[in-house]
Amino acid sequence: MARSEADLDEQAVNALRDYLRIPSVHPNVDYGPCEQWVRAQAASIGLPVRVARPAAPHKPVVIVTWAGARPGLPAVLLNSHMDVVPVYQEKWTHPPFGAERTEDGKIYARGSQDMKSNAVQYLEAVRRLRLKGFQPQRTVHITFVPDEEIGGVDGMAAFVKTETFAELNVGFAMDEGMAWPGDEIVIFNGERSNWKLEFICRGNPGHGSMLMDNPAAQRVRVILDRLLDYRESEKARIKHPLMDQGKVTCVNVTMLQGGVQNNVVPPEITIVADVRISPEKDHDEFVKMVQGWCDEAGDTELRIVQRGEVEGVTELNQSNKWWLALKSALENANEKIIPIICPGATDARFIRRLKIPAIGMCVLNNTPILLHDHDEFIYEKVFLKGISLFEEIIRNLTAV
């Protein structure tokens, strides 16, 4: 049974590179090869696999389970998504699905940070713990879900509503975090809620040569002013470029629509805004404020195209024994932690909505932030360190 550490490292890097070479890229992802890859990994570790298909036959949720000595206790869920975002091939200096390893110890591929490395770290940590004869008290489920990058509707959002998910009896979940160029490991314990707003500004139409009263553009000016003033005031609250992102509410004008011809004053112009409301902000207050802008502009209708749910936050204090277990594993390894509200969205929100504590974390410190960017890569050394860290994390979490 004795296998050298170098052998295990080699095996882990090969597993990662194989997984990265599967082009599970949007749109129309073929998840078949990912499912096969997980099955092969699980078989080599000696663990059973179950596959749920909560939304469609071609959208599998693959579940690898390591039964604990006390299977009645709530389990630990280690989640990752199998899909990756598209690439601009010509902008890459290494093929995005080649998983090339460079002399200086980098592995280049789409998904190397977001988030196939987590998947391999979970599996390899479990492989090593088993080789060492460790027997967890709590059960560990490692899940591989589809479609996170397109909102998770047919992935985690559907999966959490199934009987299969309920049977997993999840007590605590881990999901993705993000890279950070400093020494610290970034922890996500909550997310902002995702809103899409439309302001339909109406006014008097007519010939482009006439100075009619109240054209739609006059309403547009008021709304744009208020939106951009609010944006500036929130931006001013960002003191730390990473830590404060999720504490503020983000508004961006993403589309302006209206008009048919350059000499026709249009009766209507629509402003579309992407809004991410901080969990620290009262959502109803926000809507009231925005409605106030419409009243001020006059003849402007507010349409809430997407109403974000108020997202729960996983407490990071003495009351959360899971957090204490995770934190002590990281601190024992001398890792520093930055806990933040995730500026974007991850599948962890679907788990938190069930009142199950969930924390996002990637072991990607001292690494440039390249998720969704060209030339995404991971340092092999950091990847391997992550496996050791997850070994300790799994030891601690299953002993809670």
Residue 20 makes contact with Zn ion by CB under 5 A: no
- Enumerate residues 270-329 that contact Zn ion by CB under 5 A: none
And the tokens for 211?
Answer: 């100075």
Closest by CA to 176, choosing from 368, 353, 348, 373, is 348
Query: Cβ closer to Zn ion: 199 or 377?
Result: 377
Q: What angle do CA 271, 274, 275 make, to 5 degrees?
A: 120
Q: Are 277 and 192 in contact, with CB atoms under 8 Å apart?
A: yes
The runs of H, that is alpha helices, within the chain are 5-20, 32-45, 116-131, 156-159, 163-168, 216-236, 283-297, 321-332, 348-352, 380-398
Query: Cβ closer to Zn ion: 111 or 266?
Result: 111
Query: Cβ closer to Zn ion: 120 or 129?
Result: 120
Per-residue CA distances from 363 to 79, 215, 221, 309 (Å): 14, 54, 45, 29
Question: Is 176 known to sit in a ligand binding site?
Answer: yes
Question: Is 149 known to sit in a ligand binding site?
Answer: yes
Min dist CB 388 to Zn ion, Å, is: 22
Residue 70: strand, helix, or coil: coil
Q: Tell me which of 35, 148, 175, 392 is the catalytic residue.
A: 148
User: Which string of DSSP letters, residue by residue, matches 215-226?
Assistant: -HHHHHHHHHHH
By the 10 Å C-beta count (0-12 exposed, 13-18 middle, 19+ buried), 144 is classed as buried
Min dist CB 114 to Zn ion, Å, is: 4
Residue 154 designated active-site: no
Closest by CA to 93, choosing from 392, 387, 375, is 375
Phi then psi for residue 338, to 5 deg, are -115, 110
Query: Cβ closer to Zn ion: 119 or 129?
Result: 119
Size of the site for Zn ion (CB under 5 A): 3
Alpha carbon distance 160, 140 (integer Å): 17
Question: Is 315 known to sit in a ligand binding site?
Answer: no
Question: Is 335 known to sit in a ligand binding site?
Answer: no
Query: Cβ closer to Zn ion: 63 or 84?
Result: 84
Residue 83 designated active-site: yes
Task: Return the axis-axis angle of helices 380-398 and 116-131, rounded to nearest 10°.
Answer: 60
Min dist CB 80 to Zn ion, Å, is: 8
Alpha carbon distance 99, 275 (integer Å): 36
Q: Are 351 and 358 in contact, with CB atoms under 8 Å apart?
A: yes
Per-residue CA distances from 259 to 201, 209, 286 (Å): 12, 15, 30
Q: Which residue in the shown chain puts its C-beta closest to Zn ion?
A: 114
> What x/- string results for residues 83 through 122 when contact with Zn ion is judged by CB under 5 A?
-------------------------------xx-------
> What x/- string results for residues 215 through 254 when contact with Zn ion is judged by CB under 5 A?
----------------------------------------
Q: Are 52 and 31 in contact, with CB atoms under 8 Å apart?
A: no
Closest by CA to 78, choosing from 168, 5, 167, is 168
Q: Tell me which of 35, 83, 124, 311 is the catalytic residue.
A: 83
> What x/- string results for residues 168 through 197 when contact with Zn ion is judged by CB under 5 A?
--------x---------------------
Query: Cβ closer to Zn ion: 171 or 190?
Result: 190
Which residues of this protein are in contact with Zn ion, per CB under 5 A? 114-115, 176
For the annotated binding site for Zn(2+), the residues are 81, 114, 149, 176, 372
Catalytic residues: 83, 148
For the annotated binding site, the residues are 81, 114, 149, 176, 372
